[in-house]
């Protein structure tokens, strides 16, 4: 049971368009807040996009995700789960990046998550670009390599860009595997598609044992079947879930920097998150929402709808322990 302090403001008390917009209308509990110790699931923004190699904007993602998240109510329409009554949730605020210093920003992110983990909080992150996942994994996977279920149109397993640049939003999981933060045998990447410069990423995946589900296979098998495989692959392993919004077709999620045509629809996009049920999630993110490319906010609204599905599964796990 959660403490009522940690429940969202109801739309019946304060209409959903009103109020200071925190994630899902939860209380804002900064790291120095005395009640931090009571938080079980922390929603965090990583407003940073210095790893972006093409169209920028995800630094504005957390702000817009918070804004649209005030549309989310208390109960899951499909599963009837009521996560905010099950565990203490809070908006922990944003990590402060240095937009002009990539390496320093990664260190700041890792430090922030170290504090959260020390407090026993499961982090649910709204990005930022996909490079954000690397410094988060440096905190979460420091001691033991994690499994990962990864929804994306890109593998993000490239070695380098622009003649040797090692840290971009196309390389985080190559680095994470090299650094021992992820167990490649327990990593599955779902939805991969789009044109490529070459197959270097897929060759690496094959070499280290990462499982790739291309979009053609996803469409042929359907989300339920693919998610059975994903759950079986990670089993009981502590697992990170990384969800790049460009997994979804750009008609449903135009607000992203590197869209790839031909992805899942919004129902499938939510369903795969719902089908994470039972996975031992130690952290999750939803990244690459880029508000300048979708001022109307539909992408962010889909993003927070997915985050809510993740949250329901995380809360169910915690409450069931």
CA angle 222, 223, 229 (to 5 degrees): 100
Selected binder of its own copies within 7, 38, 74, 117 (CB under 8 A) = 74
Q: Are strands 281-287 and 239-244 parallel, antiparallel or unpaired?
A: parallel
User: Does the annotation flag 156 for ligand binding?
Assistant: yes
CB 286 within 8 A of CB 246: no
62 interacts with its own copies by CB under 8 A: yes
> 214 in helix, strand or coil?
strand
Nearer to its own copies, 207 or 295 (CB): 295
User: Does the annotation flag 244 for ligand binding?
Assistant: yes
Nearer to its own copies, 91 or 183 (CB): 91
DSSP 129-194: -GGGHHHHHHHHTSSSPEEEEEE-SS------BTTTB--STTSHHHHHHHTTSEEEEEEEEEEE-S
Nearer to its own copies, 89 or 302 (CB): 302
Nearer to its own copies, 65 or 146 (CB): 65
Nearer to its own copies, 40 or 64 (CB): 64
129 interacts with its own copies by CB under 8 A: no
Count interface residues toward its own copies (CB under 8 A). 95
Residues 136-165 that bind its own copies (CB under 8 A): 161-163, 165
222 interacts with its own copies by CB under 8 A: no
Residues 78-97 that bind its own copies (CB under 8 A): 78, 80, 91, 93-94, 96-97
Angle between helix axes 266-274 and 298-320 (nearest 10 degrees) is 20
User: Does the annotation flag 101 for ligand binding?
Assistant: no
10 interacts with its own copies by CB under 8 A: yes
5 interacts with its own copies by CB under 8 A: no
Nearer to its own copies, 147 or 255 (CB): 255
Selected binder of its own copies within 219, 221, 231, 277 (CB under 8 A) = 219
Residues 238-257 that bind its own copies (CB under 8 A): 249-252, 254
77 interacts with its own copies by CB under 8 A: yes
Cα gap 90→44, rounded to integer Å: 9
123 interacts with its own copies by CB under 8 A: no
Cα gap 278→258, rounded to integer Å: 31
CB 277 within 8 A of CB 313: yes
User: Binding pattern to its own copies, positions 260-299, x when CB under 8 A?
Assistant: xxxx-xxx-xxx--------------------xxxxx-x-
Selected binder of its own copies within 75, 144, 229, 280 (CB under 8 A) = 75
Cα gap 41→311, rounded to integer Å: 8
Least distance in angstroms from the C-beta of 208 to its own copies? 20
Bond before 26 cis per omega within 30 degrees: no
Nearer to its own copies, 185 or 200 (CB): 200
Residues 27-46 that bind its own copies (CB under 8 A): 28, 45
Q: What are phi and psi of 209, to 5 degrees?
A: 95, 15
Token code pair at residue 40: 């079980």
Selected range binding its own copies among 47-55, 117-125, 133-141, 236-244, rule: CB under 8 A: 47-55
| Cα diameter, the chain | 55
Own/partner contacts of 203-208, CB < 8 Å, gap of 24 or more, are: 204/157, 204/159, 204/174, 205/155, 205/157, 208/177, 208/184
Cα gap 83→91, rounded to integer Å: 14
Binding residues: 130, 152, 154, 156, 244, 246
Binding residues for Mn(2+): 130, 152, 154, 156, 244, 246
């Amino acid at each position: 049971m959660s403490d009522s302090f940690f429940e969202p403001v109801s739309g019946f008390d304060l209409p959903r368009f009103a109020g200071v917009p925190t994630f899902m209308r939860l209380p804002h509990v900064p790291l120095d807040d005395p009640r931090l110790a009571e938080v079980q699931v922390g929603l965090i923004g990583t407003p940073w996009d210095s790893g972006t190699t093409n169209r920028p904007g995800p630094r504005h993602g957390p702000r817009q995700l918070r804004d649209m998240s005030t549309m989310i109510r208390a109960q899951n329409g499909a599963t009837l789960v009521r996560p905010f009554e099950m565990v203490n949730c809070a908006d922990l605020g944003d990590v402060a990046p240095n937009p002009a210093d990539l390496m320093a920003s990664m260190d700041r992110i890792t430090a922030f998550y170290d504090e959260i983990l020390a407090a026993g909080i499961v982090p649910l992150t709204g990005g930022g670009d996909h490079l954000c996942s690397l410094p988060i994994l440096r905190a979460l996977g420091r001691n033991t390599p994690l499994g990962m279920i990864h929804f994306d149109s890109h593998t993000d397993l490239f070695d380098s860009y622009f003649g040797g640049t090692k840290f971009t939003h196309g390389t985080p999981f190559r680095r994470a595997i090299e650094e021992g933060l992820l167990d490649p045998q327990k990593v599955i990447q779902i939805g991969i598609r789009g044109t490529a410069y070459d197959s270097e990423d897929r060759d690496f995946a094959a070499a280290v044992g990462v499982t790739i589900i291309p979009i053609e296979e996803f469409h042929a098998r359907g989300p339920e079947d693919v998610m059975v495989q994903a759950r079986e692959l990670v089993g009981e392993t502590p697992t990170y879930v990384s969800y790049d919004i460009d997994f979804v077709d750009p008609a449903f999620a135009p607000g992203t920097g590197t869209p790839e045509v031909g992805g899942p629809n919004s129902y499938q996009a939510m369903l795969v998150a719902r089908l994470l049920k039972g996975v031992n999630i130690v952290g999750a993110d939803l990244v690459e929402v880029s508000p300048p490319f979708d001022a109307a906010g539909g992408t962010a609204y889909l993003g927070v709808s997915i985050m809510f599905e993740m949250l329901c599964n995380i809360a169910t796990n915690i409450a069931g322990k």
